[in-house]
Structure 1
Amino acid sequence: MHKKLRGLTRTCALAFAVLAVSAFSACAGDNADAAKEASTASSSIAGMAEKVAPSITARIEFLLDDAQQHPGSVSEQQQDILRRALDHDGVIPRGDYDAAWSRYQDCMAAKGYAKPVTGVFTDGLRSNVMHPYMEGWTKAQQSKFFEDDNSCKQLEYLYVDEIYRANLGNPNQYTDMDTAVVDCLRRKNLVDKQYTLTQFKQEDEQYNDVAVKNFTTDRYDDSGEASSKFSFDLKDPATVTCFIANGKDYYFREDTSPIWNPLNTPTP
């Protein structure tokens, strides 16, 4: 029964993950022209690497300015967290991150849903991939759910989550997530300084070839067959942080993540 439920939610989880990534991309894309002008900088990893902003503090300033231009879209509590971060070199403490998540949960509960749940990793970093159980929902229910979820995330959590992740895994604000991961691995001494973006992409392709094969046979990577294609330890908590902080949640087993049943409907 457990396995059946995982299968039923897999498609919804994928759609939810894509939506979350799209929301993040939209936030970053609003200032794409300014970022290209002011934030393209030399990278020791891959030559000229484009950045979202010149620094985390510059990104916070942009997000606060954006919030002011769209009154009511971002709560004062979320803005206050960002303002405090500006006084501490852009760093958001775990307590503020947890508080923002809690307010997002309360926002969804106020709209009639069960409180959101998702995987939690090192440093309290929450997965962006959620697994909402939607069997039997109408298209209208699904549409309203995604609209409500996006609204609550934007209001209470989205910007805080972005900056918290950046501090853990992408302080140089790279727009390309592979570049950010390699930079993170190198900064944490998980790979040597000669490890390149090209090498990562080659290993990543080999990993995905095996992972896809295993998924189609409903056999997950318990043996480490796929993860062995990387020249670093994919299961090291520091490696997990580098990946999760940069939106690469799909490397970690979907069937270990909690299922969120927004409407508290009976499950198989």
Structure 2
Amino acid sequence: MGLRVSKGQSIAVRAFLSVLCLGVACFGAGCDGNDQSSEYIPENGAKIGASVADVMKDWLEDPDVPAAQRAVLERVAATGDMESLDYEQSWAQYRQCMTDLGYREIKLQKYPSGLYIEALHLAGTARQESKYEEDRAQCTAEHVEYVQAAYAMLAGNPNLYEDADEAVVDCLHRENLVAADYTASSFAEESARGEEDDYSFDIRDMKARSCLASNGHLTAFIGDDVEERLW
């Protein structure tokens, strides 16, 4: 799965999980700032659900949701929010699952919203990388898949936009990181070019990176502090 979140409620969980993978957008120099505004009217206001509770109930229809994650989703459906303890425990269980499988360390990048994304790691052999992908998928599905999707939605897409670009831009506006006339179309054009200096906001700003990561974009830069050594 690529860096871009696909559109549509039916693949919401898999879309959010794209940020757990090791596909990375790497960038160079910094970007210019803008006059900023938190006011934003979306070009496409379609929603994945009428409320957080509705989205959680839809996900809970999946009979394969593991029991521990199901309990978390049920609490989110009831309260409209996620307890930090639930999120921390899910990631702790993922880390334990991976270390039990023999990995030296599992490090997490924490964003200002509280969102965790597994750090990049120093490359291993082809066999090591293949096994890592299998193990990561197994531990993710068992411990953190749905919990991560729910937390990412709450942190980065609280207005429940179906269009991932709308969700990113809404988040950027809420953080006062872009100009009042910045739209999802603006973001789509800039991200399609893919170079750091093509963006009209500071792509290195951790709040901006949080908006991106919460909605299926993983940005990484040479010199980021957090890096795993798996073997």
Following the alignment from structure 2 to structure 1, what is the Cα–Cα distance between the partners of residues 190 and 129?
Answer: 37
CA RMSD of aligned residues (A): 3.2
Listed one character per residue, the Cα deviations across residues 153-211 of structure 1 (whole Å, up to 9, x for unaligned) are: 111111111111111111233343221111112233433544322223344456x24x4
* Pairing 1:44-59 to 2, within 5 Å after superposition: 44-47=41-44, 49=46, 51-59=47-55
103-112 or 229-238, larger mean C-alpha shift = 229-238
Select the structure that is richer in helix: 1
Whether 2:61 is the aligned partner of 1:65: answer: yes
Per the alignment, residue 186 of structure 2 pairs with 199
Q: In the alignment, does 2:104 pair up with 1:114?
A: yes
Correspondence for 1:35? none
- Whole-Å Cα distance in 2 between the matches of residues 191 and 30 of structure 1? 28
Rounded to whole Å, the distance in 2 between the matches of 1:236 and 1:136 is 33
TM-score by length of 2: 0.72
- Equivalent AA in structure 2 for residue 243 of structure 1: L
Gaps of 5+ in 1: 1-17, 33-42, 212-225
Q: Is the 8 A contact 1:45 1:197 kept in 2?
A: yes
Amino acid across the alignment from 2:208 = T
Aligned counterparts of 1:187 and 1:63: Cα–Cα separation in 2: 27
Aligned residue type for 2:57:
E
Task: Give the distance between the partners of 1:204 and 1:148, measured in 2 at CA.
Answer: 31
Distance 1:31 1:196 in 2: 22
2:35 is matched with which residue? none
- In the alignment, which residue of structure 1 is the partner of 2:75? 84
SS of the residue aligned with 1:47?
Answer: coil
1:238 aligns with 2:227: no
AA at the equivalent of 2:121 = P
2:92 corresponds to which of 99, 102, 105: 102
Contact 2:44 2:163 survives alignment (8 Å): no
- TM-score normalized by the length of structure 1: 0.64
2:216 equivalent in structure 1: 247
Question: Residue 124 of structure 1 aligns to a residue in which SS?
Answer: coil
Whether the 8 Å CA contact 1:45–1:196 is kept in 2: the answer is yes
Equivalent residue, structure 2, for 1:125: 115
Q: Which residue of 2 aligns with 1:12?
A: none
> Cα distance, 1:120 vs. partner?
1.7
CA spacing shift, 1:94–1:48, aligned 2, 3 Å: closer
Instruction: Give the corresponding residue for 1:222.
Output: none
Instruction: Answer whether contact 2:54 2:77 (CA < 8 A) is retained.
Output: no
User: Any conservation in 1 of the 2:107–2:226 contact (CA below 8 Å)?
Assistant: yes
Q: Does 1:174 align with 2:165?
A: no
Structure 2 gap segments, 5+ residues each: 14-39
Question: Partners in 1 of 2:203 and 2:213 — Cα distance?
Answer: 11
Q: 1:205 and 1:113, CA in 2 relative to 1: closer, same or farther beyond 3 A? A: closer
Tell whether the 8 Å contact from 1:100 to 1:160 is kept in structure 2 after alignment: yes
Q: Which of the two has higher C-alpha Rg?
A: 1
Q: Which structure has more RCO (C-alpha within 8 Å, separation ≥ 6)?
A: 2
For residue 137 of structure 2, what is the aligned residue in structure 1? 150
- Give the AA of the match of 2:42: I
Residue correspondences, number: 205
Partners of 1:103 and 1:47 in 2: CA distance: 38
Q: Matched residues, percent identical?
A: 27
Q: Measure, in 1, the Cα distance between the counterparts of 2:45 and 2:55.
A: 19
Asked whether the equivalents of residues 170 and 246 of structure 1 are also in contact (C-alpha less than 8 Å), the reply is yes
